[in-house]
Structure 1
Amino acid sequence: MIASPASGSGKTTVTAALARLYRQAGRRVKVFKCGADFLDPAWLALASGQPADNLDLWLTGEDYCRHALHRAARDNDVVLVEAAMGLFDGAPSAADLAVRFDLPVALVIDASAMAQTFGALVLGLAAYRPPLRIAGAIANKVAGPGHAAMLRESLDPALPFAAIVRGEGLAERHLGLVEPRRTTGDDARLLAVADALHAQQVGDWAPERRFRPQALPPVPRLLEGRRIAVAMDEAFSFVYPANLACLEALGARIETFSPLAHQPLPEADALWLPGGYPEAHAARLAAHPDMARDLRRGLDAGKPVYAECGGMLALCETLADLEGCRHALWGLFPAHAKMGRTLAAIGPQSVDLGHGPLRCHTFHYSRLTTSLPPFAHATPAGREGTGEAVWRQGGLTASYLHAWFAGNPVATAALFGARP
């Protein structure tokens, strides 16, 4: 596991660079992201050459985590897990995951504004939660050799250490990192970090680890023969790979399309509009010549439409971006949305729409007003926060929630028209 004391320390850069390092050595690498994240996995997938899946003891469940880790170890030479936020943040935390599966932890610490305190911080992280195992410490944003020497001297000499000289990080925006396809120059950055890690033998830190198998319950073929259209492009990119796998295990055939490229809505039995960045592309989405009409025809014909977060915003009557420009969107959902500069909601929640609880996560900066009464409200997993509303109108189900389909395939199938 690659972890840090706080967000913004460089975990994703180091994890992606390690994946590149191992790939350059001819090894097959599987990378996981701890927690409910869509953006970091895009970088990790680019670096590793295969999809990066999510692990979370609450959202995905312990059995899924054990199953996924065993399968990854069986099929790959190296398994990396990027932690979420700070190592001990959240309940459950990345540290909980590391302890549960005995994952050695490489610490990545932004050392740009510290010297000997680096050692105290590493010592505190290592001692805070026995039996957590620390594999080594990586100092990020180091000024030069003298600075690196001070940091090294602050540590137990037996603890492996590496330093990354200060440089540009991966580009960010309001939901986190910018998607790889929207950024130039970052591949060279990852290669430079990979070279630095190689020179300091960081790839040799992790010992061999064995995982025991975990069988998962069989998935009923409740969507056998059904075609599900899934919007997938820069405006609708927040898709867990495991969610697509769950739909296929349910028997569905996936048809992806790009509303941003003005591709037509495919002939399908149901539609999924995932989250993403519709506010960054509102004008192009609004200009789609056929989408509003085709969506209306599908709903009138009784076809289910499931819209998550950004997908819901695209269905609103209007969407105001951060500059205050109000765009007339597809108008299938009687609501108006407005982007904000402060976080409106974040955290794990669960919701029961009639077929048992679906575990979900919410993270958004926009706020929505509608006269439509909620069909249901989610329940926050922690003690704080407000449960997100879920709206239903005809075949449309819309919410800010991002659901983890594999946790309840029966409830998932119902979202797309199955009658369990």
Structure 2
Amino acid sequence: MILSVIILFVIIQNSLFCYIDPGTGSLLFSALFGIIGTLFFLSKALIIKLKTFSFSKNKSAESVPSSKSKIIIYGEDKRYYNVFKPIIEELINLEIPIIYYSSSEDDPIFEIKNDLLYSEFIGTGNKAYAKLNFIETDICLMTTPNLDVFQLKRSKGVKKYVHITHSSAETSTYCLYSLDFFDAVFLNGEHQIRDIRELERKRNTVVKDLYVVGNPYLDELAKRKEIEEIKNKFRKNNDKRTVLIAPSWGMNCLFRRFGEKLIDNIVDLNYNIIIRPHPQSLISDKEIIEKFEKRYKDKNNVKWDFNSVNISSLSRADIMISDFSGVIFDYAFIFGKPVIIPSFTFDKRGTDAIEIDEEVWTFETLPKISFKLDENNFSNIANIIEDSINNEILKNNILKAKEEAYMYEGQASKRAALVLKNMLNEF
């Protein structure tokens, strides 16, 4: 069947001479090969199930609480540990069984030992989707977007799919159609409601249940902040300020937009420099990361941070330089410190934001809580760093933004668990 699809594709492309723009072409090719890959892995997974009647190489089918667990949580990467761990703990307190599937073999969730939790590594990419596309449960909770858009499909055995946001930025900054086919969404604040409702009206999609629960990730980060502050007291203090460079990934990231034109001006100053790329950039921007690692390998004041948890770098920094990454809000809301952002226009193509009539909350708020650095002013970065650190207006604006985007501080996991419990009672 797969061979037939490929042959058909070759025949068609030799017969047609229409123009497809690069963006659309990329989308079509991704969809085509996503379908082919999914069919292959789904058929393979089905054969394995028929042969073994088992979902795990380490545990027998009888040990999997599938008949008892009404909630399945999928963690696509271990970096979402701080999102799911507190919710899992609250669900256990409510005596609700959970199945946790992870695409990280070393996910710290596996260290939680409880009779109400079954956890399993299910592989990555299409191998994981082959498993998820056939799950059976009342509720499936995940941070992963684009359900039913590409490889990750709705399983007929799931009654309700719930997406949980892990960033204070609104979901319209995600890629196109990211939340269209979810049944419910857990939000950090009411600021995230408007864009979701606007897209529902424009696309005539099902109206989702929206619950403002807060941000379990930031709640966990706040707890770890206290531990890090104690550690910092015992670290050698050389009286230098620490600048954290934390770019996002993709075509809008700081590395791609400005590169060495900006970073050279920073690393040559008398600061401790921590460069912490977005985890996804290690995959999507690997060549660029390697280029800058090589460029600054002899700079003694430059340290790279590739850890999955960012709290150490955030706690040590006096100021952050970033682009549009969600870590800006983590840093501003938990540490109350300012951010410097080079001046450029975010390319909304390929994101839901391109269909929103008004400016999205993120791009409306970032200029208020950060100092916008003009490209012609890169050489003056030292003065800008000092001015930003001592800027009271920025600090006050951070507090206002935090009230909007980080609601129910310290209560998120408990609120999320209670909503999930109430959902189960409705079935």
TM-score, with structure 2 as normaliser: 0.25
What is the TM-score with the length of structure 1 in the denominator? Answer: 0.25
Higher helix share: 2
Could you say which structure has the higher strand fraction? 1
Return the structure number with greater relative CO, CA threshold 8 A, min gap 6. 2
